Amino acid sequence: MSAELRQAWAADLDAATLYRLLRLRVDVFVVEQECAYPELDGRDLLATTRHLWLDDGGVLATLRLLEESVDGVVSYRIGRVCVARSARERGYTTRLMLAALAETGSATVRLDAQSHLVGMYAKFGFTVDGPEYDDDGIMHVPMRRG
């Protein structure tokens, strides 16, 4: 079975799907990367939040697309990009990133990349947009596209 790309606004997510998305994120970021941080940050259910994921009967990969507005100018933030350990090296991050960027059009998009992934995000047109910083023991760098 091939993975199906799905997306939903926060308000359209059913509880079981939201649970599966959050479970994958906790499995990757909290358990695998051994990073105790507040995964439930209050942004998953905002009216302007979209969730994208790949599903083959289970969630294989996911990301969160947030809409931001500064001085009336709309931009976007991609975050919580992760792929299940058993599903890596299959191009799933690329599928999700292309789908998210198709949603944002020519608007500015920001993300905070784990430092070792800067090259991967650069392939999507992102450039470093600030100094490297430590986020709960994992080095990150802000990046911007557009």
pLDDT tens sequence across 1-32: 589 999 999 999 999 999 999 999 999 988 88
Q: Which residue has the tokens 């608007």?
A: 107
Check whether 139 has a pLDDT greater than 90: yes
Residue-level pLDDT at 1: 59
**8 A C-beta contact, residue 111 and residue 77:** yes
- Spacing of C-alpha 101 from chain mean position: 11
pTM: 0.92
